[in-house]
């Protein structure tokens, strides 16, 4: 049925912790997101059997004998089929091998869906497979100083990206502006393109000059953003490895975790005990993992007794263990992000991470 014009697969390798293969029926202009999201981890050659094997293109789902839930989930042991919808985007996913073995995934999406599913479904799968290996993909940028990593979990709109960029501009190591992986021995980078809302002067912020084409794109998006009074969030994708290439750090031991929360006046708290702190960071990560949470609920509802039910409990427990030796602080960031706020965070971080910091 599927006309396979482009069977050449893309291979991805996340620090040797996880490998993924993506094959698709054809390339469309909407595939830019699929091409760019994990581009930093693209590998030339496959490294054995991939952990996640994604096949993009039309397929006939195998529903025989599956339990149907809510008209959008079909669940059988080890297998889930579901349909997702986000505004105009639609995509249907079939996942096999949920309990052990490589994940075999088939995705069929409409045109807008091809722009959305990498950020939803593929993220979900990466998060799931990493969590099963005891590796925690947290919604937190990471920067390094004196060889140790500082994690900055925060809700979107608090100033994660701008803080991470500011740190990188002052010569700190850069490990990703959106997410990072917490491993048993520290943090690992998870670098995806910057998603910059055009509330900042991006060129001055990044200290670069865009090409004429990129400037036109940004100008158009800015106008659209003003015309719609910010009702649609328009992002432009800019690659961190083009800007901070030499500063990118892949692995570093964990030194400190600062959770950024929006509040009336800037403040840095005293070091926090790990149990309550972990709860906040877990909420921050769960809010980004809606699709995975819903998928696990549907799967475990039918397949009672599945170990996947305890995934988030294990996640929280492991996070508390990994955070035990780091300095944990809560930082209150005012809605208007000013250089003073950054200086406050930096001064504290240099004390916590620097050679004189208490370990």
Partner 1 sequence: MNALCDIHGLRLRMTGLTDAAVPDINTRLHWFEVPEDGGPADLEVAVGPFEPDLAGCLALDRRYWARPGYLYVEEGDKGLSWRAEIDGLERGAGEPLRIRFAHGPWNRRRIPWLLFPDVILHLYILWPILECELAARGLYLVHAGAVERDGRALLVAGRGGVNKTAAVAELVRRGWRPMSDDFVLLGRGPAGETRVHAFPTSPRWFEFQLRHMEREDLSLVDKLRLLRVLYRRRDVGVEFVREARLEQVAVVHTVEGRTHPEATPLAPDAAAESLELNCRMERTSYVGLKFIIGRFLEAYPYVVPESTYGREWEALGPALVALLRGASCRRIDTGVRYDRRLVDLLEPADR
Residues that bind partner 1 (CB under 8 A): 63-72, 74, 84-86, 155-158, 261-264, 276-277, 279-280, 283-284, 286-287, 290, 293-294, 297-298, 300-302, 304-305, 309, 332, 335
* Nearer CB in complex with partner 1: 149/281: 281
The CA-atom distances, in angstroms, between 101 and each of 11, 59, 220, 226 are 18, 22, 46, 48
* Nearer CB in complex with partner 1: 18/116: 116
The CA-atom distances, in angstroms, between 149 and each of 19, 76, 166, 257 are 24, 41, 15, 8
* Nearer CB in complex with partner 1: 85/133: 85
Would you tell me how many other CB atoms lie within 10 Å of the CB of residue 180? 28
* Nearer CB in complex with partner 1: 158/180: 158
Smallest gap from residue 22 Cβ to partner 1 (A)? 24
Smallest gap from residue 308 Cβ to partner 1 (A)? 11
Smallest gap from residue 147 Cβ to partner 1 (A)? 30
Q: Please name the residue ranges forming H helices in 178-310.
A: 202-206, 212-227, 240-243, 274-286, 290-302
d(CA 137, CA 32): 23
Smallest gap from residue 198 Cβ to partner 1 (A)? 17
Is the Cβ–Cβ distance between 144 and 150 less than 8 Å?
A: yes
* Nearer CB in complex with partner 1: 21/106: 106
Collapsing DSSP to helix, strand or coil, 353 comes out as helix
Smallest gap from residue 301 Cβ to partner 1 (A)? 4
* Nearer CB in complex with partner 1: 84/180: 84
* Nearer CB in complex with partner 1: 62/217: 62
Smallest gap from residue 55 Cβ to partner 1 (A)? 22
Tell me the pairing of strands 67-69 and 235-238: unpaired
- C-alpha closest to that of 56 among 121, 123, 1, 109: 109
Would you tell me how many other CB atoms lie within 10 Å of the CB of residue 304? 7
* Nearer CB in complex with partner 1: 45/336: 336
Would you tell me how many other CB atoms lie within 10 Å of the CB of residue 102? 17
Would you tell me how many other CB atoms lie within 10 Å of the CB of residue 227? 10
Smallest gap from residue 346 Cβ to partner 1 (A)? 22
Radius of gyration, alpha carbons of the chain:
21
Q: Which helix (H) or strand (E) holds 54?
A: strand 52-56
Taking the CA atoms of 290, 293, 298 and 299 in sequence, report the sign of the dihedral they define. Answer: positive
Smallest gap from residue 91 Cβ to partner 1 (A)? 13
């Amino acid at each position: 049925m599927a006309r396979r014009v482009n069977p050449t697969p893309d291979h991805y390798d996340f620090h040797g912790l996880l490998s993924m293969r993506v094959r698709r029926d054809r390339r469309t202009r909407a595939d830019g997101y699929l091409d760019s999201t994990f581009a930093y981890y693209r590998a030339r050659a496959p490294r054995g059997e991939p952990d996640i094997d994604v096949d993009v293109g039309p397929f006939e789902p195998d529903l025989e004998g599956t339990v149907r839930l809510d008209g959008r989930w079909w669940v059988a042991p080890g297998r889930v089929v579901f349909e997702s919808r986000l505004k105009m985007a639609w995509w249907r996913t079939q996942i096999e091998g949920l309990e052990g073995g490589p994940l075999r995934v088939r995705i069929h999406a409409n045109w807008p869906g091809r722009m959305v599913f990498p950020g939803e479904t593929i993220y979900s799968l990466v998060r799931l497979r990493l969590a099963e290996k005891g590796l925690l993909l947290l919604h937190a940028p990471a920067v390094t100083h004196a060889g140790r990593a500082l994690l900055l979990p925060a809700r979107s709109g608090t100033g994660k990206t701008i803080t991470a960029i500011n740190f990188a501009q002052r010569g700190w190591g850069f490990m990703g502006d959106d997410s990072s992986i917490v491993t048993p021995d520290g943090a690992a980078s998870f670098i995806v393109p910057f998603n910059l809302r055009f509330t900042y002067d991006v060129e001055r912020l990044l200290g670069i000059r865009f090409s004429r084409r990129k400037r036109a794109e940004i100008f158009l998006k800015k106008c659209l953003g003003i015309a719609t009074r910010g009702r649609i969030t328009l992002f432009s994708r800019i690659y961190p490895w083009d800007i901070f290439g030499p500063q990118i750090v892949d692995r570093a031991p964990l030194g400190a975790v600062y959770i950024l929360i929006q509040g009336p006046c800037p403040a840095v708290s005293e070091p926090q005990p790990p149990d309550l702190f972990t709860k906040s960071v877990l909420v921050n990560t769960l809010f980004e993992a809606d699709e995975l949470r819903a998928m696990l609920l549907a799967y475990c509802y039918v397949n009672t007794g599945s170990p996947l039910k305890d995934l988030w409990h294990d996640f929280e427990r492991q996070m508390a263990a990994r955070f035990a030796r780091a300095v944990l602080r809560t930082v209150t960031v005012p809605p208007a992000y000013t250089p003073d706020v950054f200086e406050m965070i930096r001064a504290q971080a240099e004390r916590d991470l620097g050679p004189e910091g208490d370990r």
